[in-house]
Amino acid sequence: MLNIIGKRKLYYTISIIFVVASIAALFLWGLEFGIDFKGGSILEVSYPNNRPETEKIIEALKPLNLSDLRVSSVGGNGVNFRFKETDEATHQEIMKILNANNVEERRFSSIGPTVGAELQQKSIKAIIIVLLGISLYIAWAFRKVSHPLGSWRYGVATLVALFHDLIIPIGLFSILGHFYGVEIGTNFIVALLVTLGFSVHDTIVVFDRIRENLKRYESLDFVSLVNKSVNETILRSINTSFTVLLTLFALFIFGGGELKYFILALMVGIFSGTYSSIFIASPILVSWFKTLNKS
């Protein structure tokens, strides 16, 4: 049997390093918001033959004076154009210039800054509501567990683990945004919400085994009981996460440009969530138990 709980300080240290690094990156550089949150337009086209060089495409569009124009390649023959919010007339002018190479338009969308700011606020509210809802649900689900720790402490331990699972991918995308210009949009928020759901699922599996073992092994001390419970569920958690990560990795390798960063956020979040459910949430209960019994 692995002595996971006995080595909890090591796992805490690893998590603290990543969390502090993520928070530091967030304070230093913030996040690079996409058009979903700050407003703007995005146009994606496909060149059926040879795709021109980016510099030539930008040069051809110069007469339109597009503000904050960014051009990036997508896959083998696709190109993404990002610029400030524009009207349909300008959109058609862009297509006239690009159609000199017989391009195929894949998508065009334009979002105003007011709508973008509203989406940003709603996304933050959605994450906060989910965090509070999950914590309250776990406290209610474990309401009959009162010894040696009250049910609400399970909810708090889950909240700490979920914060860990949120801040690490956010910190990573802060670094990617600063050094590589990677933007976040509503897809990133979806990835965070999926991460929360996946993480809490793993955490509940472990906590539920602790609840069962509290009734089954009444003579066993709490520290040993939690360690036993984690060991009984660790293979299930790892196997489930590994199969999901394999699928996501395949999508990351073969997926499109926009999809890749959504998949990356999911991969980092699910890995972090699996780690926290095994090495953070349950050890927090033990640390809390030991602190209460010292006083």
The CATH number of whichever domain residue 143 belongs to comes to 1.20.1640.10
If asked whether residues 136 and 175 sit together in one domain, one would say yes
Q: At what angle do helices 186-216 and 151-180 cross, to 10 degrees?
A: 150
Q: Provide the edge-to-edge strand list for the sheet that holds 78-83.
A: 70-74, 78-83, 40-46, 104-111
Residues 140 and 182 reside in one and the same domain: yes
User: Is the pLDDT at 257 greater than 70, yes or no?
Assistant: no
Specify whether 247 is located in the same domain as 135.
Answer: yes
The answer to whether the pTM exceeds 0.75 is yes
Say whether both 52 and 24 belong to one domain: no
The tens digit of pLDDT for each residue in 193-202 reads 999 988 898 8
Q: Are residues 257 and 278 in the same domain?
A: yes
Same domain assignment for residues 231 and 277:
yes
Residue 192 and residue 72 share a domain: no
Same domain? 193 vs 248? yes
Q: Are residues 284 and 226 in the same domain?
A: yes
Query: CA-to-CA distance for 6 and 270, rounded, in angstroms?
Result: 24
Q: What confidence category does residue 4 fall into, taking pLDDT thresholds of 50, 70 and 90?
A: very high
- Do residues 220 and 276 both lie within one domain? yes
Span 220-225, mean pLDDT?
91
State the average pLDDT for the chain.
87
Query: Which range is least confidently modeled, 8-12, 75-79, 207-211?
Result: 75-79
Residue 55, domain extent: 40-111
Residue pair 210/288 in contact by the 8 Å Cβ criterion: no
- Domain termination site, one of 86, 111, 136: 111
**Domain end residue (candidates: 63, 81, 111):** 111
- Nearest-angstrom CA–CA distance, 18 and 2: 24
Give residue 218's identity as a one-letter amino acid code.
Answer: E
The domain tally of the chain equals 2
Pairwise CA distance, residues 276 & 200, whole Å: 10
Residues 28-65 as b/e (b if ≥16 CB within 10 A, e otherwise) read eeebbbbbbbbbbbbbbbebeeebbeeeebeeebeeee
H or E segment to which residue 82 belongs: strand 78-83
| DSSP secondary structure letters along 158-219 | HHHHHHHHHHHHHHHHHHHHHHH---B-HHHHHHHHHHHHHHHHHHHHHHHHHHHHHHH-TT
Question: Using an 8 Å Cβ cutoff, are 269 and 194 in contact?
Answer: yes
Looking at the fold, whether 255 and 188 belong to one and the same domain comes out as: yes
- 167 with 275, same domain: the answer is yes
Give pLDDT, residue 152.
87
Instruction: Examine the fold and report which residue of 79, 111, 143 is the final residue of a domain before the chain moves on.
Output: 111
The CATH number linked to 53 is 3.30.70.3400
